[in-house]
Amino acid sequence: NVTTLSIAGCSALRQLHLAANPVSSAVCDQWFIDLDAAVTGPVTGADFFYPSAARTSASDGAWASLVAKGFVMWPF
């Protein structure tokens, strides 16, 4: 179920297509926090499509870190 989906420890994820899903802000923010913790270094070809209305400032640090690591963010 996407409303409780955890991506903790998923260090190999490079394509996340989670936009337009009915998730809470807490779940959406946690996706960024968990992915940032799992992915250690530079990546290429990494895209993250997410529901923009669900993300809050709670994940700003993780979001920026993922961008610095090479993720392209696609808010929808």
Residues 45-58: tens digit of each pLDDT = 999 999 999 999 99
**What pLDDT band is residue 39 in, cutting at 50, 70 and 90?**
very high
pLDDT at 17 over 90: yes
Query: Measured at the alpha carbon of residue 65, what is the angle toward residues 63 and 71, in degrees to the nearest 5?
Result: 75
Mean pLDDT of 12-38: 95
Check: pTM over 0.85? Answer yes or no: yes
Half-sphere exposure of 20 (CA within 13 A, CB side): 1
Is the pLDDT at 1 greater than 90? The verdict is no
Q: Is the pLDDT of residue 42 over 90?
A: yes
DSSP letter for 10, please.
-
Q: Which residue has the tokens 């690591």?
A: 69
C-alpha neighbours within 13 Å on the C-beta side of residue 73:
19
